[in-house]
Structure 1
Amino acid sequence: MFGKKAQPPIKSLIARGTRIEGNVKFSEGLRVDGEAFGDITATTEETSLLVISEAAIVEGGVTADHVIINGTVRGPVHARELLELQPKARIEGDVSYVALEMHQGAVISGQLRPLMVNAAEGDEKPLLKLAAKNA
């Protein structure tokens, strides 16, 4: 289910020094290096990837299939598949995910809410992967 499948290409960038005010909708891939004040939401037509870099600040909710965070998010985070929290990730809000990879140093101020993959089966548990400390 969470094997190595091809990541969608990052076709959009909110560059460092750029400030976006308002909601953003994107398809495929988006990288945020600047500031975004509003919700960032991936469309559901295609597999989506959202990368929030170390310098980025997002004040609003984020939603995508695969979410990678190494910056600051002040709002709810919803990963429809995989959420990766890098060492400098800071989240102030509730987090929902199917699979979670969290590196040492990442901080969440909110509730973790695992999503069931197949709610009809009821037996499927969310995947939780602990990242190994790099030597």
Structure 2
Amino acid sequence: MSEPITSGAASMAGWKLLGGAAGASAIGAGLASVVVMCVTTPRSPKEWAVGLISTVVGSIGGGAAVIQHYGLQSWAQEPMGLVAMLGLVFTCGLPAWALVRWLFNFIERRKSQDLAEVAAALRKELNK
């Protein structure tokens, strides 16, 4: 049996080797997906898959954009900084599911219309 300190140091080294920031992003994206799926239950397996993918991509892409925009990369050097980055990634994924759901509802209501009719309706909505 290994010593607790040795195995803890080995696991921390493994975490850093795998990329602590990448792991924090994955955890944040996963948690955001679970939250939005619980708040707004998908109506079909297809909607569930699209929601999951869009939330994960929104979390990782949006979180990375916020971190890059504000120059927060140095936070990755400290464990609590990684926790803060995880919170940013989590928060950025929450609106992604809502945006995708609104887009799909908009498309579903207009599925019998051609492109010109959809463009006219969209123009009318935007000019209100």
TM-score (norm 2): 0.22
**Higher strand content, 1 or 2:** 1
Whichever of the two has the greater Rg, that structure is 2
Higher RCO (C-alpha 8 Å, min separation 6): 2
TM-score (norm 1): 0.22
